[in-house]
Amino acid sequence: MAKNNKNNNGVIELWGHEFKKAGEGLDRGQVESFVEELMKKHEALLKRTEHLASLTNLAEKTIVEADTVAKQVRSEAEEKARAEAKAILSEAEEKAQKLAQGKRAEALAKVDQEVKAIKAKAQQEAEKMLEEKTKEIQPELRKSVKRLYGELLSQLESLKQQVVALEKELDQKLAHPPEKTSAELEETSQADEETGQADNEFLELFQSASEADEDQPEWELEILPPIDLTQILDIINYLDDLPEVRQTELIPHMERPKITVFLNKPISMIDILRELPQIAHVTEDTTGRNGSDVKPRKAKIELSRRAASKPSN
């Protein structure tokens, strides 16, 4: 609730800012419009910041997972080579024991050479397997992380510029409030009587916003592997720009990230997603649903291998 403090120096304090009095007070309608505009801009910046934090977390998890996979592949290859060598050595020893005493030394020498050759071959295959797995993982991972960091830096720079512009705009409006006409001065006599009502309206506005944040999302979009962080960010930005969408949130699961969508009013989500170039295939998951009113509705998304530019609204 906004606090209005008056003094005898011709100044009114609202929301921690001082406004010069013009006549008997400020125009209520102009102040409300000014505050609502600042609130909308502030909420938009918070939403962008949350998306960037979620994507940063997902990128960090992806890097850790790639390193774990590489170590696991190396360990499995070494274990396989040891097991094969052990099995071959055991078989060779059995054959050697069945040979005549006169051929024993010759047989053992031959078996030893075979074991060494097989061990060397197994080691080469293990190294080759590890190298192939590493080549498969690293280029895609480096490319995705590089694109993600570039996108994050761009978004952060844009946010900084928006914050600076917003602060300048706020300082200018607070430093130079609009002057009232004679007709407006006559209407200000009712401002003091309506102050209590205005405070209640602002309280209801904040309560409504808090209750809206606690609502369940209308849609839950699951991204199937392989994932592409840049494409996921494009999809989120596109949905956020739709007038029917109140907000989106990214849940950064490692293998299958999810996008939750909160709506202002119903939309044909599946049809909209099918039009996006970042999406190759989308299907609605109706498992366990008893009716169309059950929230959230769920869909599974397969990303395109190559994404074109995002369509405009």
Chain-centre distance for alpha carbon 307: 18
pLDDT at 237 over 90: yes
Most confident option among 173-182, 212-221, 247-256, 291-300: 247-256
pLDDT at 1: 44
Residue 137 pLDDT exceeds 50: yes
Between the CA of residue 97 and those of 67, 84, 87, 94, what are the distances in Å?
Answer: 46, 20, 16, 5
Cis peptide before 296 (omega within 30 of 0): yes
pLDDT for 198: 47
User: pTM for the full model?
Assistant: 0.35
User: pLDDT above 90 covers what percent of the chain?
Assistant: 21
Whether residue 20 is predicted with pLDDT greater than 50 in this model: the reply is yes
Reduce the DSSP state of residue 205 to 3 states and report it: helix
At 57 the three-state DSSP class reads helix
Laid out side by side, the sheet with 219-224 consists of 245-251, 258-263, 219-224, 297-303, 279-285
> Bigger pLDDT: 94 or 283?
283
179 or 10: whose pLDDT is higher? Answer: 10
Q: What is the mean pLDDT of residues 152-178?
A: 71
pLDDT at 6: 47
pLDDT in tens, 188-219: 555 545 544 544 554 454 444 444 445 789 99
CB 19 within 8 A of CB 9: no
Contact 285, 299 (CB under 8 A): yes
**pLDDT classification of 135: cutoffs 50, 70, 90:** low
Q: What is the per-residue pLDDT for 259?
A: 96
Report the distance separating Cα 103 and Cα 97, nearest Å. Answer: 10
User: Long-range CB contacts (< 8 A, 24+ apart) of 124-132?
Assistant: 125/77, 125/81, 126/77, 126/78, 126/80, 126/81, 127/77, 129/73, 129/77, 130/70, 130/73, 130/74, 130/77
Residue 309: per-residue pLDDT: 43
The Cα–Cα gap between 157 and 175 comes to 27
More confident of the two residues 191 and 136: 136
Per-residue pLDDT tens over the stretch 86-133: 888 888 778 777 766 667 677 778 888 888 888 788 778 877 876 776
Q: How confident is the model at residue 291 (pLDDT cuts 50, 70, 90)?
A: low
Q: Which two tokens stand for residue 128?
A: 């080759």
